[in-house]
Each structure stands twice: as structure tokens, then as C-alpha cells.
Structure 1
């Protein structure tokens, strides 16, 4: 079996509203998949059903070939959720050891302290950790059982730059050993750099699925940025051929277009007052915003 996760026509209804709507998706073993979407899109509900925390109203969810609620399946997965609840009166190393004993083949305590960057905090009370340190503790607990599939829900919120770097280096190393990683994040530059697949959900439905490069090339187009003179207006720029969006930051302008060659020629022909001109591919955030706008406006 090459599939780690299978969703077949999965629907979840809360209070008469579809949080997830006929979602079909397969995630291969050994892949790193970023599940993206605006707030309320259905990401958390989808992950909760994959973990067996909630049951679909209809459809089927399979995790590692079995029911997510089975003990034998739970022993092979780990989850780092947004809320990390620590146990009173336990030190960091005691908390990690407690979770290690839930699993048949746990990672060593020393390894979990190292990959979470908590070696110096191991004798601290878990409740005394900062917000970022508690996120790292949550990662240690999620990784305690050496999981085949690891779920990460907004994993780096509250982490400093050094902690984030260690975290993503660890995730890349885990993926390199064949672990399956599923993550949600609002830091799209992180998803772009670490994921080999991007899945975008909006209104409970799948709206895009591909590699980061595919998502960006199909949706974001290319961007022309420059510093505009005082005479340049939004109306004049909107009249240029192929302009799909305009973003201003002070006098700095970003023009989005599927045909930047034609657009740059038109800008020069019009002799617009502009300097510091750059042409670049649109980023994942640009593609994400375009996808959400397209599906929201329908």
C-alpha cells in the first residue's frame, strides 16, 4: 500500500451546514503535504476526521489502511495540534517520558529533547515554559512514538527564528526517512519551502492540488513591481493590457499579469513615470489569494 491517507466523498455537517463537502483526496506515504485554506475553510475539520476525533457524516476515511480510531493505527501516528495542554507538577522531561510510554516503540528521551530544542529546559516545569517553548514541547510529544504519519497544525506559531529553523530541519529529516507529514500553516513561505504538495480547501471543497511550482505557475502568473511617480494612478495601470491585480505599498506598485512581456512593453510605450523595475514570478501567497478570491466570488 502506497497511500497513507484516503478520503472518499467525505462530508461533515455541523448544525445543518457543510463544514466539509464531498472531499476526495489521497496522500501518499513519504510525502510532505501542506493543507491550506482561509479560516473556516474546513481544514481543521478535515484533519480531525483523519485523526478519528470526529466521524464524517458520510463518506469514508482511511489512515494507514485502517480506521483512524483503531489502537494499532493510533500507535503509528502523531499530532501536534494548536492547543498544547501541559500537565501540572511535571517537568519537561517527565512530560515527554509520560507520552513515550504510551507507544510501543518510542524515540529516546534524549533524541526528543534534541529535535525539539528543549535540552536546556528539560528540568523546567512544563507550565513555566514560554508559548514558543510549549509549541516545541507539543512537537516532542507528537514525535514521541516515532510516528509513520505526523500531523502539524500551525506548528511554528510563537516560535522564534532559530526554533523555526531547527523545527523545519527536523521535519525535512523525518520526511527523508519516509515519514508522511501533513501540515496546516498561515506562514505560506514555510509551506512553499518544505512541502512537496499543496492542497487548498475553501468552503469545505478541494479547489487546488499540486506541487508549489504548479500552484504558483497556474494561478499567480508573474509580477512587475516598480516605484511609481506622482503622476501614475490606479486607473491608468488598470487600463494596461493583461493586468489582473494591482497592489500599492506607498509608491511601490505590484502589477499581476499572465503576460508580463506584453505588459512591460505597454508600460514603456506609455512612458509612465516609474523606476526600480523588477519582473518576478508570483509567490505562493499570491496564488493562494487568487484561488480563494476565485472560489469565494462564485
Structure 2
């Protein structure tokens, strides 16, 4: 797959302190990547360098094969940042049209109003919008140029449930058309459901990179649970390779393992009496906290 974003050994220092430390990252076109980390981890600085708003102290950043500051590159990207600034005295439609004018091939105004759920506010002053409506206006502005790469910084803060649903439907549709999407969010359930890939940084360093399932399984392990027959004992289970932990709840047993597929084969091989088998992994939030605490 073609590369949309390439960071090679990138570091950024402020007054001698590294906000980003030797970060290397490749993001292919057409993927949805969630960039996660605690406050102060270096997420905002990383995104700022990808956008060309800041320059790395060392290392190199490529966006769509070029310098992020090049006009030809900027014409193909969109960004929805946390703070939405609106122009006084401009209406919603006028604000969107202003940003449409900056791009070579902008999306139609009516389409932008629809995907941002602002059709009813098109003639309303942008400064009079509620906080959630201003977030949706920021989304319309980010999509104005029909970007190949879209950056979303805490995009659904302040949105109601229906607006969030429409927002993620639009994002998934964009990804389905081959667009690359990089998002930061504190709503980890959103990252889990929408992202193809999770990248976790802490103290400016890369600490985890993989699919949501890989991040959860690699950090929390996975659990096989089943209702055990009368012959199953803790001593019997301890003799089976691949079990990291055993927990009982009456006749229900939960076995933690790094490789539940292999463990299930071993359980059958050893003739363990079991029924109502379930395989589960921990949540992304639990995995995230484990990675950050490490």
C-alpha cells in the first residue's frame, strides 16, 4: 500500500526537554489510525509536526510523499482541531464557503452541511452556534477540500448521540473510499470501534502499535471461560501448558492465556470436560492504562 505519513526518527525539544523522542511511524493510505496517549504524551506535538505547523528538532516528516508545508500537499489534507475559531459576522454557510475557496477541488456546500448535520443552521451566525454545533462546523471545514488525509483531534467532544453516530458513519465512509484518517480521542470505545490501528505514545516514545485486538490481547491477555465438568480441578488445569492464571466462580472457570487458540487445542487434547465455552479479551481502556502505567 502507498504511504500517507512517514516519520523517521523524529524528535522535538522545547527548552531542552523532549516532547517527542526518536519516533518512527509509517501510516499507509486508506487506514484509520487512533493516536492515543495521556495528557502531555506528545500527541499534539506529533500531529503538529505532521501538519507542518512545527518542525522537528531532528528526523524527517513526509506527508503524502512531500513536505507538509508544500501548497500541493496542504491542498490534500484537512484538520479538525480541538479549538474551533469562527469569523465574526459570517453565517455557517458563508464560513464553510470561505474555507472551500482555499481548495482546488472542494466538496459541494450542501454535502458539507449534510454530513455535519448543519442544514438547519446554514443561515445562522457561526458565532451563535452551541459548542457541539461548532464542533460539527469544524468537521465541515476539515472536509471542505475533500482531503486524502484527515486529522481529527478529540472530534466528538460536546456532540450529542445522534451527531456522533452521523459523524462516525461519515468517517467510515471516507475510509471506505481510501482516505487516511488520524484521530486522537479520550473516548477509547470510539477508537476501539472505528480504528484499524492503535498507536500509543507516552513520554514522547512509541509504546504500542497494532490493531485494537492485538493491543488488547498483547497487554491484557485473553480469557477462555467455560462451565467445568466434575472431573476438572485446579491441579488438573495447572498441568496444561499455556495457562497464565486460573479463576473459579462456582463451577465456571476462567483461564487467562496469551494464546487462547493454542490453549483451546490443549484443553481438548487433555480431554477437559467443558461446555458453554467463551473466549474474551480485556477492553482497550484496560490495555491503555496498563501500557501507560508501565
Q: TM-score range by the shorter chain?
A: 0.7 to 0.9
Q: Structure 1: any 5+ residue segments left out of the alignment?
A: 225-241, 243-257, 270-277
Q: Which residue is equivalent to 1:165?
A: 165
- Is residue 235 of structure 2 the alignment partner of residue 263 of structure 1? no
Partner in structure 2 of residue 203 of structure 1: 203
Q: Does residue 1:215 correspond to 2:215, yes or no?
A: yes
Aligned residues: 255
Query: Matches of 1:49 and 1:113 in 2, distance apart?
Result: 30
- Per-residue CA distance 1:135-194 (angstroms, 9 max, x = gap): 000000000000000000000000000000000000000000000000000000000000
Matched position secondary structure for 1:10: strand
Confirm whether residue 132 of structure 1 aligns to residue 149 of structure 2. Answer: no
Structure 2 unmatched runs, 5+: 225-237, 252-277
How far apart are residue 67 of structure 1 and its match? 0.2
Aligned equivalents of 2:246, 2:121: Cα separation in 1 = 55
Q: Are the structure 2 counterparts of residues 12 and 88 from structure 1 closer, same or farther at C-alpha, using a change threshold of 3 Å?
A: same
Aligned partners of 1:220 and 1:284 also within 8 Å? no
Distance 1:126 1:259 in 2: 58
Could you state the TM-score of these two structures normalised by the residue count of structure 2?
0.83
1:36 Cα deviation (Å)? 0.2
TM normalised by structure 1 equals: 0.82
1:260-285 deviations in Å (ceiling 9; x for gaps):
7x5224x659xxxxxxxx98421000
- For 1:112 and 1:143, the matched residues in 2 are separated by 7
Deviation track 1:242-271 (CA, whole Å, cap 9, x = no partner) reads 9xxxxxxxxxxxxxxx957x5224x659xx
**How many Å apart are 1:220 and its aligned residue?**
1.8
Query: Structure 1 runs of 4+ off > 3 angstroms?
Result: none
Q: Is the 8 A contact 1:35 1:43 kept in 2?
A: yes
Is the partner of 1:27 in helix, strand or coil? Answer: strand
SS at match of 1:264: strand
- Kindly report the root-mean-square deviation, in angstroms, between the aligned alpha carbons of the 2 structures: 2.2
State the secondary structure of the residue aligned to 1:21: strand
